[in-house]
Each structure stands twice: as C-alpha cells, then as structure tokens.
Amino acid sequence: MVARHLLALDPDGSRIAAALRNTIDMLLNGQQTGRFRWDELFKTEKTHCGTLVEISLQREFGFHGGQDLDYEIAGIDVDCKYSQDLWKWMIPPEAVGKLCLVVWASDEESRWCAGLVRTNESVLGGGANRDLKRTLSQEGRRHVRRLFWNAPLQENTLLRLPPADVKAIFAPRSGQQRLDELFRRAQRRRISRTVVATVAQQDDYMKRIRYNGGSRSRLQPEGIVIFGQFNSHQKAAAALKLPIPQAGESVSARLARYSGEKHSIAPRVVLDGSEWILAGAEDPPERAPMLPQT
C-alpha cells in the first residue's frame, strides 16, 4: 500500500531526486561558502543530512507526522532513514517491526536509491551501537522493496571537471571572471544554477550569465554561446546535439560558422540569420551569434 502510494505521487522518482539534490545543495551552501564537495562538510553537517532529508521529503509530499514514527503514508506509520553509505541505515529500537523508507544518495556518483523494508528481527544484524541501533543483515538487504535504484541525481558539474580546470575557475577574485572561466572550461555540459551560485558567490548570480555585461556578452568575441532554459535555446541545443538545458540550467559551447563542404555532415542551426555548427579544434575563434531572448 505504501509503495503504491509513493509511486502514484512520484512515478519517475523526479520529486525525490529533486528533494535530495536540494538537501545536498543546502548543506554545501555554495553561494556563501564556495564548497561543492561532500568531504568539505563538517562532521556535524554530514550527521545532520539525515534529518534534512526527512524534512525535505515531508515538505515535498506533504506527509503527516506518524503516530510513533516520522511519517504517516497511506494510513501507515513509516520511518525515514538516510545513510551516507548504501545499506548502512541505522534502525532504532522503536522502528523494529515497522516499515522504513530507506534512502541513499551520492553526489560523487550522481546516483540515489530509495526503497521500503519492514525491519523485523529476521532482517537485522546482530550488532548494535550504543544507541541500540542496528543495520540490515546481508539477508535483510534482499528484503528491501526497491522503488528507485541507482537512479540519476542531477550532476554537480564541478565534480566532473579536471582539478586543473576547477582551480582555474576559482582562481579569479571577481565572481564575474570566475563565471566566464566556468563557461569556457565546462562546455557542452548542463550547468545548474547551484553551480553558478557556487562559482559566482554573489546574490545576483544568474544575472551574471546574461547579455549586457554578463558571460554571454563577455564570451561572445571568443565564439562561445550560453544556452538557457528558453524554448528557442532548447531547440537550438537539440539541433546541435548538445545536452538540453532544463529549468535553471545553462549549456555553453563554442560555435563556428557553417561553411558548406568543410562542415557538410555536422549538425547545424540557424542563429542570428546564419548557419552555425559546434566548433572543432581546427575552427578559428569568431564572434558568436546573438541568441534569442525568448
């Protein structure tokens, strides 16, 4: 009953994934701290993550509090358990014999899992910590009803770049210059607004992408465009076989003017009255076209 209810609320897992992404971003607080790696968090912050996941899911789905456990779902008490390590959920004595929603996420791996398990004695290991909490036994792991498993978590682009590129991105003192370097070095990737905030570390970080002084106009002489969530931008990105930016996301790419035979098989798109393709190493830099603003 609980599984059916959860899957009805979130058939593809996108709502749970968004809540997990938001929780991790909240802990990192990149806009204020510049942090983007889990290992940069203090131990107390990591410990607090489980509580924040519980709260985030309750807010997302509007679960009522349970009589004895965290939630009431489909009229049944359910405890929410998050672990930084897969399969290491700590089950307290009051949840034994009850239903648990077990959740795990890894920003490093861009993956997450969620499942349901009734934590009878038969599925718990024998050892306990000083709070009498226990983990699932090897046999107990087989009893987890997998709702979503190894599902994709929105990527933290900064974790995918070479260390030398990350160092170069954060080297300038100016937030605008750091953003320019981000879009130079992280081309053809979806970049979330959280990554933009972490790099810029300014209140008006999304304005720093736009034309009229932002990265779009500053990188235009280098041939680099920055597609956003506008419908026209998404269509142009799709035509060029680029990742399609979703809400709050940006995708940068250097373009070259289409020249017929030389670029005959390259995907191309009409922008600012001319045909353009993705630039290769052999294409010299030229001023990029203006993108539509709708």
Asked, for residue 289, whether it belongs to a domain, the answer is: no
| Residues in contact with 224: Cβ distance below 8 Å, sequence separation at least 6, in sequence order | 183, 184, 187, 252, 253, 254, 255, 288
Do residues 199 and 242 share a domain?
yes
- What average pLDDT values come out for the chain (294 residues) when binned by 10 residues? 98 98 97 96 94 97 96 97 95 94 97 97 82 91 97 96 98 97 98 97 94 96 97 97 96 93 83 95 94 88
Asked, for residue 63, whether it belongs to a domain, the answer is: yes
Asked, for residue 32, whether it belongs to a domain, the answer is: yes
Report the distance separating Cα 47 and Cα 51, nearest Å.
8
Do residues 256 and 182 share a domain?
yes
206 lies in which domain range? 157-278
How many domains does one find in the chain? 2
Do residues 161 and 139 share a domain?
no
Q: Which of residues 152, 172, 189 is at a domain's end?
A: 152
Domain with residue 54: its CATH number is 3.40.600.10
Domain with residue 185: its CATH number is 1.10.10.10
Do residues 19 and 142 share a domain?
yes
DSSP per residue over 70-130, as a string? SEEETTEEEEEEEESSTT---B-GGGTTSEEEEEEEETTTTEEEEEEEE--GGGB-S---T
Do residues 147 and 95 share a domain?
yes
Do residues 83 and 194 share a domain?
no
Do residues 168 and 130 share a domain?
no
